[in-house]
Structure 1
Amino acid sequence: MKKEFVMSLLVGIVGLSQSGKTTIFEALTSSGVSSDLKSASKKPNMATIPIYDARLDDLALHFKSKKITPATLEFVDLPGLRKGATADETKSLLSQVKEADLFVHIVRCFENETAPHPEGSIDPQRDIKTLDFELMIADLSTVEKRIERVSKLAKSGDEKAKAVLKLMQQLKAFLEEEKPLRLYKFKEEELKLISDVEFLSTKPVVYVANLNEGESQISEDLFKIVEEHSKAEESYAMKIYGKVEAELAELPLEERKEFLSSYGLKESGLERVVKVAFDKLDLMTFLTAGEKETRAWTIRKGTKAPQAAGKIHSDIERGFIRVEVYTYDDWVKCGRDEKKVKEKGLLRVEGKDYIIKEGDICLFRFNV
């Protein structure tokens, strides 16, 4: 049975130099980036990984599918930002993650004499603010350029230009107070005005405290600092033991569950990052299954049937008639028997206003 991967969600892994960021990138992606590349490259490391979904294997076995296509997660690991870098160097690095949907911010919460912290001490709050400051400086530059661009047009009486100028001036003041734009409460009409602008500090952030597994109390104290910061901005913080994840990545799949249990863990760092990323971005998965292919499709929560169909092909959205749908859970409860699903009235025929749910198995009917 053939498995294929398609690009879906882009996660930018960011952090300061010596935060253990690339070690975690390697562990999450099992990419094995060389040490030469880690130390010398100013280019991001990239890896696309499949999002494991046991439902796909189950469905493919029943439908005798020739191909399985899971949803995917693409990671881009930005070279660590360092103190003393020039503004142009920092700007060049940050430009490489502008297209990321979400940032995973690796925060150093461990001691290591062989790789000392560039600042000489471990201080998660300071490090978070340092990286945020770089994001805000980049955004401030973007705002100032946009102000310069629309000012003349606004003076001529153009209403949209005046609205953009007003918003940009507000964002400039906000950034100058050293507040990232993800804390700015955008109105719906304001978001429309900046739909063509790529800001960095607006992106959702998941804070990952990189801990030493052998320093329980110290680790907990440092993690609490990261967690309190994330709560203050309504974000999310999680723990990852970088060395543990690196060891896990080298093990065969069948040995990983037992290895995690030995550390009191139920899921790998990757599994937890995927769950949090989906939650922060309001994403969900629907399924299609058949002899040709069984596949997972990633969409935003609240997506209606025609737009979900458009993920498969624009012609299906354009000629949408209806969707025949039942849930994976109902299918399992009916003994993985479609006839029983129909007999129990669990297969529904829905129209263009139906909102697709997590785990829906869909067959779209269309005519073009």
Structure 2
Amino acid sequence: MIGIGIVGLPNVGKSTLFNAITKAGAAEAANYPFCTIEPNVGMVTVPDKRIDELAKIINPQRVVQATVEFVDIAGLVAGASKGEGLGNKFLSNIRGTAAICQVVRCFDDDNVVHVSGGVDPIRDINVINGELILADMETIDKALEKNKKLLVTKNKDVMKLVPVLEKCQAHLNEEKLLKTLNLTDEEKELIKVYQLLTIKPMIFVTNVSEDDLATGNEYVEKVREYAKGLDSEVVIVSAKVEEELQEMEEADKEEFLESLGVEEAGLNRLIRAGFKLLGLQTYFTAGVKEVRAWTINIGDTAPKAAGVIHTDFERGFIRAKVASYEDFIKYSGWKGTQEAGVMRVEGKDYVVQDGDLMEFLFNV
């Protein structure tokens, strides 16, 4: 699956936000519905000050940062699950993503048309979630119809699957997202093949005016309250501000953000939140040729981490030399951490921590 799908009703600022995220201007942004038809995909660098600090110590020939993928998907309208607007196309595009980023309009502007006639973020979220629920209901109903017929075969997998599908069906019939249903890891694995929409991790981006960027507003508070029930994060962004920032020099950006009462661009927070939403974390390798951030899943062991460099590293893994980022900075590199006794040697069962500095020993 590709990364994070940016979704929302038409004219909430999705494509403007995507353009700012990718700094590529690849997504058309205009003041009319269905401006985005084919999904635009952008690989985005994950802002991480740690890699800059590592580079100061190592002075490498090059620095390579971690990336995360964002996808700008066409605006959805009520009735999408029945084919309204770009319905089926929207749903198939989002089905291929690993997580959902819902952009919600939280600003008043008579010059920007709202597809529903007025600003109401919770109504907008419910429209999107309602369509996702209806799409999942259709998927589950078809799966149940097929698998119930197979129960007569006494197939063990089918006998395990049907009760899970029935549990999902009952939950969806209550108009609830599957991400709020208490499923075991085994049950999630059984239904993984269906690429259900409402089970995906979700984050909400509240698109506000420039004046509300630092503190938010009453619309944002409503979204925050709603997101609590889904255990989802809320990020405040002003798509208009982010668009303006892309045209500025670095020094001017800092001054502009300071004048707005914020320390960093909202997009930086969004990209980091998206990285976390996907269950990803970073470890580093640091040598004179290259300082690099490597992307792995949270909970990955040392051999898995080695495998993202090269599959041979995972197959032939023997052990890893490890130092925490904090110790690496404190003692100025590998030599200092070894002399201070804080550099460790870890084996195959070691679970990599975010920010670890690692070197691998392996059999070719």
Matched, 1:44 2:49: no
- 1:216-245 CA-to-partner distances (Å, cap 9, x unmatched) read 999611111111100122212222122212
Letter in 2 for 1:17: P
8 A contact 2:283–2:357 mirrored in 1: yes
Label 1:58 to 1:238 Cα distance change in 2 as closer, same or farther (>3 A): closer
Equivalent pairs, count: 360
Superposition TM-score, scaled by structure 2 size: 0.91
- How far apart, CA to CA, are the structure 2 residues paired with 1:18 and 1:176? 30
Match of 2:126 in 1: 129
TM-superposed deviation, 1:119:
1.5
Sequence identity (%): 38
Label 1:118 to 1:128 Cα distance change in 2 as closer, same or farther (>3 A): same
- How far apart, CA to CA, are the structure 1 residues paired with 2:350 and 2:74? 44
TM-superposed deviation, 1:64:
4.7
- 5 Å-filtered alignment, 1:1-368, equals 10-32=3-25, 33-35=27-29, 40-60=35-55, 62-83=57-78, 87-88=82-83, 89-214=86-211, 220-334=217-331, 336-368=332-364
TM-superposed deviation, 1:65:
3.2
- How far apart, CA to CA, are the structure 1 residues paired with 2:265 and 2:30? 27
8 A contact 2:9–2:115 mirrored in 1: no
- How far apart, CA to CA, are the structure 2 residues paired with 1:343 and 1:296? 25
- How far apart, CA to CA, are the structure 2 residues paired with 1:290 and 1:9? 31
- 1:105-161 CA-to-partner distances (Å, cap 9, x unmatched) read 111112222222122121111111000011112211221222233222222211210
- How far apart, CA to CA, are the structure 1 residues paired with 2:276 and 2:319? 28
- How far apart, CA to CA, are the structure 1 residues paired with 2:121 and 2:290? 46
Comparing 291-300 with 16-25, which one deviates more in the overlay?
A: 291-300
- The answer for unaligned runs of 5 or more in structure 1 is 1-7
Label 1:211 to 1:64 Cα distance change in 2 as closer, same or farther (>3 A): closer
TM-superposed deviation, 1:285:
0.8
8 A contact 1:46–1:76 mirrored in 2: yes
Q: Once superposed, what is the RMSD of the aligned Cα atoms?
A: 2.4
Comparing 211-220 with 150-159, which one deviates more in the overlay?
A: 211-220
- How far apart, CA to CA, are the structure 2 residues paired with 1:108 and 1:37? 14
SS at match of 2:192: coil
8 A contact 2:237–2:267 mirrored in 1: no
- How far apart, CA to CA, are the structure 2 residues paired with 1:306 and 1:322? 8
Comparing 349-358 with 85-94, which one deviates more in the overlay?
A: 85-94
- 1:225-274 CA-to-partner distances (Å, cap 9, x unmatched) read 11110012221222212221221122123322222111111121221112
- How far apart, CA to CA, are the structure 2 residues paired with 1:348 and 1:158? 49
8 A contact 1:28–1:249 mirrored in 2: no
8 A contact 1:28–1:269 mirrored in 2: no
- How far apart, CA to CA, are the structure 2 residues paired with 1:186 and 1:359? 31
Comparing 271-280 with 306-315, which one deviates more in the overlay?
A: 271-280
8 A contact 1:60–1:290 mirrored in 2: no
8 A contact 2:165–2:191 mirrored in 1: no
- How far apart, CA to CA, are the structure 2 residues paired with 1:63 and 1:327? 16
Label 1:243 to 1:37 Cα distance change in 2 as closer, same or farther (>3 A): closer
8 A contact 1:9–1:73 mirrored in 2: no
SS at match of 2:19: helix
Letter in 1 for 2:339: E
TM-superposed deviation, 1:97:
2.2
SS at match of 1:165: helix
Label 1:67 to 1:337 Cα distance change in 2 as closer, same or farther (>3 A): closer
- How far apart, CA to CA, are the structure 2 residues paired with 1:332 and 1:289? 12
TM-superposed deviation, 1:70:
1.1
Letter in 2 for 1:30: K
Comparing 219-228 with 52-61, which one deviates more in the overlay?
A: 52-61
- How far apart, CA to CA, are the structure 2 residues paired with 1:40 and 1:235? 28
SS at match of 1:195: helix
- The answer for unaligned runs of 5 or more in structure 2 is none
Label 1:140 to 1:252 Cα distance change in 2 as closer, same or farther (>3 A): same
8 A contact 1:48–1:73 mirrored in 2: yes
